[in-house]
C-alpha cells in the first residue's frame, strides 16, 4: 500500500513540475511584449507577471491585465479608458522609434553616445558608447567626486566589453528603446513616476521611472546624451 502511495506522490510532483515551467521556456505564452496575436484565443496562456510592478496596458487594441501572477486578456479594460499619461508616453515612444528607424536608413548604424549621471552627493560619471554597424565595439568610463577629483576611469574594446561592473550598460540605441518599452513604460504608475522625453530632433533622451516617495538617486531606466553619427 505504501509503495502505491509513493508512486502516486511522485506522479503528482511530476505533473506539478510540468505545469510550472518558467515562461522563458514557454514560447506560447502572451505578454505585452510577445505573442499578442494569440492573447484572445480561448486556450491561450498568459506569461508570468507581477501586479506590484506590471500595470494594466492596452497595446494594438489588446487589453492585458496582471491577475494572480499571470497576464490575462480582457474586453475593454485598459483599452476602454487608458490613463492619459500612459497613452501620451506610448504615443511619443512610437513616434521616436519610427524616427530612429528612419534616421538609421539615412545615416547607417554607426554612431556614438554618452550616458551621464550625477548624484546629490556630488558624484558624477560619464559613459561613452561606440557602435559600428549596429554592434557595440567600445565603452569608456570616467567618474568624479568632490571638486572634480577623478575616481575611476577605464576603456574597453571588443575583447573586454562589459568586464567592468560600473558604468552604463553595453547597449545599442535599439536595445535602449527595447529596455524603455519593456522595463519602464510598463511599470505601475500608481507607485512610480515615469519620465519619458526626447531630444530636439525627436530621439530618445530619457526613459526612467522613480518610485514615489524616493528622494535621492532613485531613477531606473535609460538615458542618452551627446549623440553623434560616425562618418
Q: What is the largest CA-CA distance in the chain?
A: 78
Specify the pLDDT at position 27. Answer: 64
Please tell me whether residues 43 and 102 are part of one structural domain.
Answer: no
Q: Tell me if 28 sits within 8 A of 39, measured CB to CB.
A: no
Q: Is the pLDDT of residue 14 over 80?
A: no
- For residue 12, pLDDT over 80 is answered with no
Query: Looking at the predicted structure, is the pLDDT value of residue 76 above 90?
Result: no
pLDDT at residue 1, rounded to an integer: 45
Pairwise CA distance, residues 211 & 194, whole Å? 9
Task: Please name the residues in contact with 207: beta carbons below 8 A apart, sequence gap of 6 or more.
Answer: 93, 176, 179, 180, 184, 185, 195, 196, 197, 221, 222, 223
106 against 78, higher pLDDT = 106
Asked whether 34 and 178 are in contact (CB, 8 A), the reply is: no
Same-domain check for residues 45 and 119: no
Same domain, 88 and 74: no
179 and 217 fall within a common domain = yes
28 and 89 belong to one structural domain: no
Total domains in the chain come to: 2
Q: Does residue 27 belong to any structural domain of this protein?
A: yes
The residue-averaged pLDDT of 109-116 equals 95
219 found inside a domain:
yes
Based on the domain organization, do 36 and 105 belong to the same domain? no
pLDDT tens-digit series, residues 113-128: 999 988 766 788 899 9
Average pLDDT over all residues of the chain: 82
Structural domain that includes position 34: 23-79
With H, G, I as helix, E, B as strand and everything else as coil, classify residue 116: strand
Are 128 and 56 members of one domain? Answer: no
Distance CA 47, CA 69 (A): 8
Residues sharing a CB contact under 8 Å with residue 22, sequence separation 6 or more, in sequence order: 48
Amino acid at each position: 500500500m505504501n509503495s502505491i502511495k509513493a508512486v502516486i506522490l511522485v506522479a503528482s510532483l511530476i505533473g506539478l513540475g510540468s505545469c510550472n515551467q518558467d515562461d522563458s521556456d514557454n514560447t506560447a505564452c502572451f505578454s505585452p511584449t510577445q505573442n499578442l496575436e494569440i492573447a484572445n484565443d480561448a486556450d491561450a496562456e498568459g506569461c508570468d507577471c507581477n501586479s506590484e510592478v506590471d500595470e494594466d496596458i492596452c497595446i494594438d487594441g489588446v487589453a492585458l491585465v496582471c491577475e494572480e501572477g499571470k497576464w490575462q486578456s480582457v474586453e475593454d479594460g485598459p483599452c476602454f479608458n487608458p490613463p492619459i499619461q500612459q497613452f501620451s508616453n506610448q504615443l511619443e515612444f512610437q513616434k521616436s522609434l519610427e524616427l530612429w528607424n528612419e534616421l538609421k536608413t539615412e545615416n547607417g548604424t554607426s554612431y556614438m553616445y554618452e550616458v551621464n549621471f550625477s548624484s546629490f552627493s556630488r558624484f558624477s560619471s560619464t559613459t561613452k558608447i561606440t557602435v559600428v554597424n549596429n554592434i557595440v565595439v567600445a565603452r569608456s568610463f570616467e567618474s568624479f567626486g568632490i571638486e572634480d577629483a577623478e575616481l575611476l576611469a577605464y576603456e574597453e574594446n571588443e575583447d573586454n566589453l562589459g568586464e567592468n561592473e560600473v558604468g552604463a550598460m553595453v547597449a545599442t540605441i535599439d536595445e535602449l528603446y527595447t529596455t524603455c518599452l519593456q522595463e519602464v513604460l510598463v511599470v505601475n504608475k500608481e507607485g512610480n513616476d515615469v519620465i519619458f522625453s526626447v531630444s530636439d530632433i525627436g530621439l530618445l533622451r530619457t526613459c526612467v521611472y522613480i518610485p514615489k516617495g524616493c528622494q535621492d538617486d532613485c531613477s531606473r531606466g535609460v538615458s542618452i546624451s551627446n549623440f553623434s553619427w560616425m562618418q
